[in-house]
Amino acid sequence: MSLFIGIDFGTSTNVVTRWDETKKTAIPIPLGKFGAPNIFPNVIYYESPTNKIVGDVAVTKGKIDPQNAVFSIKRRLEDFGFKQYIPALGRDLSSEDVAADIFSWIKQEVEKNFGGQNVEGAVISVPFAFQNSERKRIERAAKKAGLNVLGLIEEPVAAALSFGLLEKTKSGKAEKILVFDLGGGTFDVTIFDFQKRSDRQFAIRVITTGGAKNLGGIDIDDLIVDKIIVEKMNKNFPTYSLDILNAPANLQEQETFIMRQIAIEFKENLSVEDEADLFFVSVLGNNYCLDETITCEDFEKRLEPFLVRIKNVLDDVLLDADLKPENIDRIIMVGGTSKILAVNEKVRNYFGKQPQQVEDLTLMVGEGAGIYCGLKYVDKSLNCDISVGVSKNIGLKWRGKFLEMLPQNTLYGTPSALAVIDLDNLERSDLSIPIVQGNSYENTKVASIPVPLEIIQKLIGGKLGVKLNTDKNNGTIKYELWSVVDEKEQIKLSDGKAEEE
């Protein structure tokens, strides 16, 4: 039996599934606590250079020794300069290094579960908001770990496959689908047209993507931690905040780590119960203790600012798509934080219809990745046409100004108009033009265009024309350089792939 897997590499948790060739479906692989749960924390603990632990045990060890633990690394994959010093290794690790170690652990544990059989191929899910640079980074990390990466699948598409859109949609019918993905660290909203052409053939055209990079279950955890410190602890122990600041660094980190884990457990308990106990004992001594029972109703009141942020994101996404709530045919809820009752109620009231869920929202993306892996690369029976666009405005940074060239949602493979920049007063030497994503107020360099002196010398009047495009398959940024004689005459000088950061 061949071993092909799908991986949902999440901000706070991971899910790994395998393709069952007999049942033609993806089955979760138990890699959690005691080998039972299918979902395990995306936390790694470095015990020594040869012993790296991932999951629930890493969380437990990280409570005692947080300096050698790394969590929420997916958020850091977009941070080009991220480094964390790991004392057990005696060196800094980049986000790609940490992700590679986690993928290596996954590969090792999966193969151990199947009697040493090799993983022959894997599909990994990525957010729609990941541009080509971030996608390459996660793919490189997996390949460093020895995984044969067959492909990447966008998380909303994986969720749609897992949800069973192929089975639940009539052939020839087009639907506007909104995937509401509220995970541990990010909130992603994707609207796409879905058209089923046959039982194994479909087309997806992304209308818009949006969300909040730093909005998710972690923010709810922060609210709970804030309650522990401010609302309860400070009332009983006015000097508590000062005591935390004056404590040794290792105790500060341990205290924060323990509070965060208690917050996660409390939040999960309130997702299935009407009330839950919030119990915390400080490691700083002096009898700092909190023991309180909180109801869902009280908890939801504290969540109001969080729910307002969700509404604001939905408003922005629908505005970008020029749609109204009633234009959405189907809402698919994804991500562990979507299970919170107050979140479900907010979505139902906003759209005026019941969002659709499966039994376990946290498994959807991992199962979809496994299904895609099996149908696309093993059975080779899946014929899908997925049209994706850029999730942020892309343009040039020239003389301190942002020149927008590929607006958000521009489909991959769509060329920009010609932008003309004046090089006439510049020193004649090799030049590099930054490509950035974002807007005039906030933008990040993602690549650059090399302009050698031989190109500059061919310009007539110093006018350089630039066109941008993206590869239809993977979003890699491409460019063309032109000599601009006048409005009617332009001469193409060169083209190529932008040099990524």
> What is the domain-level CATH number for residue 280?
3.90.640.10
Rounded mean pLDDT of 479-484? 94
Give the pLDDT of residue 310: 93
Whether 107 has a pLDDT exceeding 70, the answer reads yes
- Do 260 and 336 lie in a common domain? no
- Do 87 and 198 lie in a common domain? yes
- In eight-state DSSP terms, residue 325 is G
- Do 196 and 221 lie in a common domain? no
SS3 53: strand
SS3 304: helix
Confidence of residue 483 (pLDDT cuts 50, 70, 90): very high
Q: Are 131 and 475 in contact (CB under 8 A)?
A: yes
Confidence of residue 146 (pLDDT cuts 50, 70, 90): very high
Rounded mean pLDDT of 418-442? 84
**Token pair for residue 482?**
């032109």
Give the pLDDT of residue 23: 86
- Do 374 and 472 lie in a common domain? no
Could you tell me which residues come within 8 angstroms of residue 59 by beta carbon, excluding any fewer than 6 positions away? 41, 43, 69, 71, 261
Where is pLDDT greater, at 208 or 239?
208
Where is pLDDT greater, at 129 or 53?
53
SS3 17: strand
SS3 89: coil
Whether 35 has a pLDDT exceeding 70, the answer reads no
Q: What are the angstrom distances between the C-alpha of 391 and each of 225, 333, 406?
A: 32, 20, 10
- Its pTM stands at 0.74
Domain end marker among 252, 276, 304? 304
Which amino acid would we find at residue 454? E
- Do 432 and 289 lie in a common domain? no
- Do 136 and 61 lie in a common domain? yes
Confidence of residue 70 (pLDDT cuts 50, 70, 90): very high
Tell me the backbone φ, ψ of residue 66, rounded to 5 degrees: -65, -20
Whether 294 has a pLDDT exceeding 70, the answer reads yes
- Do 154 and 286 lie in a common domain? no
- Do 70 and 59 lie in a common domain? yes
Give the pLDDT of residue 464: 92
- Do 62 and 162 lie in a common domain? yes
**Helix axis angle, 341-351 relative to 304-321, nearest 10°?**
40
- Do 48 and 188 lie in a common domain? yes
- The whole-chain average pLDDT of the chain stands at 85
Could you tell me which residues come within 8 angstroms of residue 370 by beta carbon, excluding any fewer than 6 positions away? 4, 5, 6, 17, 18, 19, 25, 26, 27, 123
Give the pLDDT of residue 232: 56
Domain end marker among 355, 387, 419? 387
Q: Where are the beta strands (DSSP E) in 240-329?
A: 275-281, 289-295
Give the pLDDT of residue 318: 95
Whether 230 has a pLDDT exceeding 70, the answer reads no
Give the pLDDT of residue 238: 61
Confidence of residue 475 (pLDDT cuts 50, 70, 90): confident
- Do 143 and 38 lie in a common domain? yes
User: pLDDT above 70 covers what percent of the chain?
Assistant: 93
- Do 58 and 157 lie in a common domain? yes
Range name among 228-237, 391-400, 432-441 with the lowest pLDDT average? 228-237
Rounded mean pLDDT of 11-24? 89
Whether 454 has a pLDDT exceeding 80, the answer reads yes
Q: Quote the number of domains for the chain.
A: 3
CATH number assigned to the domain comprising residue 429: 2.60.34
Rounded mean pLDDT of 29-42? 79
Give the pLDDT of residue 286: 60
Residue span of the structural domain in which 123 resides: 4-215+310-387
Range name among 82-96, 199-213, 404-418 with the lowest pLDDT average? 199-213
- In eight-state DSSP terms, residue 83 is E
Q: Is 271 exposed, middle or buried (0-12, 13-18, 19+ CB in 10 A)?
A: middle
CATH number assigned to the domain comprising residue 192: 3.30.420.40
Rounded mean pLDDT of 429-442? 87
Range name among 198-212, 284-298, 325-339 with the lowest pLDDT average? 284-298
Beta-bridged to residue 397, according to DSSP, are 402
Domain end marker among 361, 387, 413? 387
